[in-house]
Structure 1
Amino acid sequence: MTMRILHLSDTHGYHRWLRDLPAADVVVHSGDFTMHGSADEAEDFINWLCDLDYQYKLFTCGNHDFCMYRATVSGLSDTVHLLYNSGVEIDGVKFYGVPLFVPDCADGRQEQYEADIPLDTDVLVTHRPPYGILDYADQTNYGSATLLRRVHEIKPRLHLFGHIHQQYGVLKRGETIYSNGAMMNESSRTLNAPRLLEI
């Protein structure tokens, strides 16, 4: 049975600009849904996400979403999940998400969270990319070497991320399809198209 996954990322407060999104079984946002990290922005995004006409809605947080650091979100339905170093299984497919927060990067917790991603993960959702994969900007690879090693061990069917706006794209290496879904086009303040993937 095929599962259709709609990948969004790095909408930076412009989520309500999205119209006529394609049909899918699961919509996944891989972080940076706010621009300034305020609670009002996060609440508006979560309300918008909950109202979308998809059976399942998953999201993790990016470095811009700092109001969500160590936050809990109450009142979500059973079909909406914040993936905060946590996972959920949908129709036999195991999703797991790791957010990206500056304090965790500064004290080494981020690398530990990445090293602890479960081996049986089918769809990995992170904000930052693995090192060397759709992570290059300004003559620098911004991805995580720890995350790359763990992805090579896990071999998920999909790895969904964002963070590096200049590397919006998709590629396949080995058994894994990698999707950088960063939608904000910084040169024109427009949004790239959401990406529909199937597994």
Structure 2
Amino acid sequence: MTSSTVKTRILIISDTHTASLGDASSPYPFKYPLPRADILLHCGDLTIRGELEEYKTTIDMLNQCDAELKLVIAGNHDVSLDDKYRGPNGIRYKMLSDDNMQYTHRWWNHTVESAKAMWTCDETQKKGIRYLDEGLYRFNLSNGANFTIYASPYQPVFCDWAFDYQRGEDRWNPAALSSPGATSIVEHPIPSWPEVDILMTHGPPRGHRDMTFQRTHAGCPHLLRAAARARPRLFCCGHIHEGSGAERITWDVEKVNAELTAGSGLEEATEDAEDFVQKSTRVGERRVGSKQDLQFVDVSGEAQRDDRNGGPLSRERGEDTLLVNASIMNLMYRPAQAPWIVDLELPRSAREEHDS
């Protein structure tokens, strides 16, 4: 009998900030060649300040990656892709100073349309790159996998950059499922389980890979609430460089189901959705090869349960989620954090099952 899932290799990166792949002599793990994968996911912050030349550099970098499908979202630094981030004379952006800790305001005159055109033109798409605005998408792979991904570049307000919203605002849940007291600003709500296989946002959820160097949580509690509803197989993000890493979140499925079955749903949960998180365990390991370091975790059905990689996800889809913050840059904007390779089971297309 043919399996209903397909083992699929996913390369995850984020916060590359215009970095090119280093050569063999580079002291950093972000170097050529990155491992081959079926899917590459870039979770935003493609640039430092959203200049057209920076986008070109990042597109060239992605073209060097060996993956059938390369899915990309913007981040808060990619200001010229945010049509709401404008000044009177063009696109407003912030530029990092030499010490990377202070900011200088400048103005740029290229348009959102010209920036997006670089990512959506035929030349870029021929390289396998797909730029995703906020919303739900479905893709088919040549290995027979058919999967859905929800993508969004947004995160709570953070140093007055792009794609942000106030912390009291809920961008992720239908109004009836928002936290008490939250202001709903949802445009494209994250669907509930089992509609989403992969959740890709720029910012992390509250309490998971979101700790800043100042020991504060920068993640969004409303996003965690939505993730508890969606319970995807994989949740990848970036944004908080210090949060780079992976963990396996086990949801309290009975609690979630009871709340959703009750109707309007999650009002009695805590704002951080702690009632839905049963446990969270760090997973992953660094493998050092002759050409690059990488972070690797195998949660496919073929994985053996052990302390190094956390073992496969539960056979019962929706019980747990692998969460990865794949920031490449460290706090000092050096590409010192390794890319992530995840082996994951994705749904096999109905046609593939029938043909088999």
TM-score of the two chains, using structure 1 as the length reference: 0.89
- What is the SS of the residue equivalent to 2:11? strand
Among 196, 199, 202, the residue aligned to 1:124: 199
Q: Is the 8 A contact 2:20 2:57 kept in 1?
A: no
Within 5 Å, which residues of 2 pair with 1:16-55? 16-17=21-22, 18-55=31-68
Report the number of matched residues: 199
Deviates more, 1:1-10 or 1:71-80: 71-80
Please say if residues 11 and 191 of structure 1, whose CA atoms lie closer than 8 Å, have aligned partners that are also in contact. Answer: no
Over residues 157-177 of structure 1, what are the superposed CA-to-partner deviations in whole Å (9 max), with x where a residue is unaligned? Answer: 000000111111000011100
1:156/1:92 CA distance change after superposition, 3 Å: same
Match runs of 1:110-189 below 5 Å: 110-111=171-172, 112-113=185-186, 116-119=189-192, 120-137=195-212, 138-174=214-250, 175-187=320-332, 189=334
The offset of 1:85, in angstroms, is 0.8
Shift of 1:68: 1.2
Is contact 1:9–1:162 with CA below 8 Å preserved after alignment?
Answer: yes
- Bigger Cα displacement from structure 2, 51-60 vs 128-137: 51-60
Give the stretch that moved more between structures: 106-115 or 86-95.
106-115
List per-residue Cα deviations over 1:169-194 (Å, max 9, x = no partner): 00001110000001102347232110
- Tell me which protein shows more helix as a share of its residues: 1
**What is the DSSP-based 3-state SS (H/G/I as helix, E as strand, rest coil) of the residue aligned with 2:7?**
coil
After superposition, what is the alpha-carbon deviation per residue over 1:50-107, rounded to whole angstroms, capped at 9, x for unaligned? 4532111001111001111144333242732112113232321112210126354159
Alpha-carbon distance in structure 1 between the residues aligned to 2:188 and 2:211: 22
* Matching residue's letter, 2:238: G
Task: Give the TM-score of the pair, scaled to structure 2.
Answer: 0.52
1:80 and 2:129 equivalent? yes
Name the aligned partner's letter for residue 151 of structure 2: G
RMSD, aligned α-carbons: 2.3
Find the counterpart in structure 2 of residue 196 from structure 1. Answer: 341
In the TM superposition, 1:51-66 aligns within 5 A as 51-66=64-79
Where structure 2 has 5 or more consecutive residues not aligned to the other structure, the ranges are 1-5, 23-30, 84-111, 155-160, 173-184, 251-319, 345-356
Contact 1:61–1:127 (Cα < 8 Å) also in 2: yes
